[in-house]
Amino acid sequence: MHVAHPISRLHLLLPFALPTAASAQPALQGLDKPALDKLLERATLVERVIGDDFQRTLPHERWVARCFGVGHAAAPAALRQQADDAASNGRADPSATAAAAAAAAANDDAPLAPYMLLADGGEPRDAVWACVEPVHVQVAHDHLVLIDPETLQLSTDDAAALLAVARPLIEELGVELAAPTPLRWYLSSEQLGALASAAPLRAAGRNIEIWLPHEAHTGHRPRTWMKLQNEVQMAWFEHPVNQAREARGLPAANSIWLHAQGRMMPVSRPFERVLSQAAATRGLALASGAAWEMPPATFDMLRQHTGDQAAARAAGRGTASVTLVELDQLSAPFVQQDWPRFRAAFAVLERDWFAPALAALERRELAELALTLCGDTGTTTLVVRPIDIKKFWRRRPFASLLP
């Protein structure tokens, strides 16, 4: 029999939870979310980062990187701590919130590949790494479009067969290759540190021209990467794996995508526990020494599996631990603009997470709930505590958070 142990402080990270104002009507039509609406109404705003349409990294990845102090995140993280402290004292600090948001919005850095490699079982060492993934690029009327990588549905065996063909092409260039999983590879070269690249989901559904890797200071396309990409495309063009996939009506893996390059560095430890499926978040948790687990299906399952050992660790430090849970159910339908599926996933989050978390706050079984809701370009973080639930005069409609 499971025994429920109180979670002192819980932080829910929700990638792609905020559709744009233009998409709000089809995305949210008929969606009933009373628990989330009440949480947002009564919460204190900690930080809002607007971002822009041409940032090359994902807002939730930038948020995670800043939390752990990765990249150019130290100053924004310090400013964000000021806003967090103000919220903890039950008061909003507009200057700290605005300063944190401005600093964060200017930061388009998420060098997460070495931490992804660590999560996949590799050893990043003191080297620059970039993540490379097989993708499908579709020919449109006069340009090329990157398709959401999730729709590729590439099996481990098929990915391994494609990797076997690509490996000698990569090694010919004198670039180190690590592939602890065939679905995601890692290249190491000091030259990669000078590149600007885009996350696959950032470029998905768009003309890839402006999202392709380029030298950050000159804007020039790196010849080595272009050569490798072209050779892999030709080697995979009539590969048996792709022929079999096309015969089954699946898109071919016809190109590769490079992103998240950077060098591993020491990180801070903002969370006691991290529950996430994302390789970058898992890797940062491992690097920080935080406990890591896969996220459970529901809030109640999280409480049931919060054991005495975690509570004892927090008590031994004399501080209340923070548990981060990354809930990624909205990402695929958002990127694919499948709004019925988006609403269905949102309804499940309302039932399994928001409603029971609200009930736990009302019963004072949860000391603090933080919510970081992300859109296509920005993030909004709010904090709500048991005392806030009674502040019936507070009003913040969900629509006011949409970018």
Cβ neighbors of 352 (< 8 A, separation 6 or more) are 297, 298, 299, 300
Q: What is the pLDDT of residue 317?
A: 46
270 lies in the same domain as 232: no
Q: Do 246 and 359 fall within a single domain?
A: no
One domain, residues 164 and 151: yes
pLDDT of residue 6: 53
Q: Are residues 248 and 319 in the same domain?
A: no
**Residue 188 included in any domain:** yes
Residues 174 and 302 occupy one common structural domain: no
Q: What tens digit of pLDDT does each residue of 60-87 get? A: 999 999 999 997 644 444 444 444 444 4
Model confidence over 240-281: pLDDT tens digits? 999 999 999 999 999 999 999 999 999 999 999 999 999 999
Token pair recorded at residue 87: 């919220």
Q: Sorting pLDDT into bands at 50, 70 and 90, what band is 320?
A: low
The CA-CA-CA angle for residues 204, 112, 8, to 5°, reads 105
Task: Give the pairing type, strands 9-14 and 322-326.
Answer: parallel
Same domain? For 218 and 295 the reply is no
Same domain? 301 vs 372: yes
Residue 109 has pLDDT above 90, yes or no: no
Shared-domain flag, residues 71 and 156: no
Q: How far apart are CA 117 and CA 264, in angstroms?
A: 10
Higher pLDDT, 314 or 283: 283
For residue 307, what pLDDT band results from cuts at 50, 70 and 90? Answer: low
Q: What is the pLDDT of residue 72?
A: 63
**What's the mean per-residue pLDDT of the chain?**
87
Q: pLDDT (tens digit, 9 = 90+) per residue, 347-392?
A: 999 999 999 999 999 999 999 999 999 999 999 999 999 999 999 9
Is 190 inside any structural domain? yes
What is the Cα–Cα distance from 303 to 309, expressed in whole angstroms? 13
Sheet containing 291-293: give its strands across: 44-49, 379-384, 368-374, 9-14, 322-326, 273-275, 291-293
Q: What is the CATH number of the domain that holds 371?
A: 3.40.720
Instruction: Quick: pLDDT tens for 121-140.
Output: 999 999 999 999 999 999 88
- Domain carrying residue 146: 127-263
Confirm if 352 and 299 have CB atoms less than 8 A apart.
yes
| CA pair distance 90, 88, nearest whole angstrom | 5
pTM tops 0.75, yes or no: yes
Distance linking the first and last C-alpha atoms of the chain: 45
- Count of domains in the chain? 2
Domain end, chosen from 263, 279, 311, is at 263
The three state secondary structure string of the chain is: CCCCCCCCEEEEEECCCCCCCCCHHHHHCCCCCHHHHHHHHHCEEEEEECCCCCCCCCHHHHHHHHHCCCCCCHHHHHHHHHHHHHHHCCCCCHHHHHHHHHHHHCCCCCCCHHHHHHHCCCCCCCCEEEEEEEECEEECCCCEEECCHHHHCCCHHHHHHHHHHHHHHHHHCCCEEEEEECCEEEEECHHHHHEECCCHHHHCCCEHHHHCCEECCCCCCCHHHHHHHHHHHHHHCCCHHHHHHHHCCCCCCCEEEEEEEEECCCCCCCCCEEECCCHHHHHHHHHHCCEEECCCCCHHHHHHCCCHHHHHHHHHHCCCCEEEEECCCCHHHHHCCCHHHHHHHHHHHHHHHHHHHHHHHHCCCCCEEEEEEECCCCEEEEEECHHHHHCCCCCCCHHHHCC
Compute the average pLDDT of residues 223-252: 94
Q: How far apart are CA 148 and CA 178, in angstroms?
A: 24
Read off the pLDDT band of 215 (50, 70, 90).
Answer: confident
> Is residue 1 included in any domain, yes or no?
no
Picking from 230, 263, 296, the residue at the C-terminal end of a domain is 263
Residue 31 lies in a domain: yes
Specify whether 277 is located in the same domain as 256: no
**pLDDT score for 93:** 52
The mean pLDDT value for 4-10 works out to 71
Looking at the domain assignment, is residue 121 inside a domain? Answer: no
Cα–Cα distances (Å) from 118 to 121, 198, 242, 253, 264, in that order, read 5, 20, 30, 25, 10
Tell me how far apart the alpha carbons of residues 379 and 80 are, in angstroms, rounded to a whole number: 13
- Shared domain for 256 and 293, answered yes or no, is no
Q: Are residues 232 and 187 in the same domain?
A: yes
Residue 115 lies in a domain: no
Where is the domain boundary, 237, 263, 289? 263
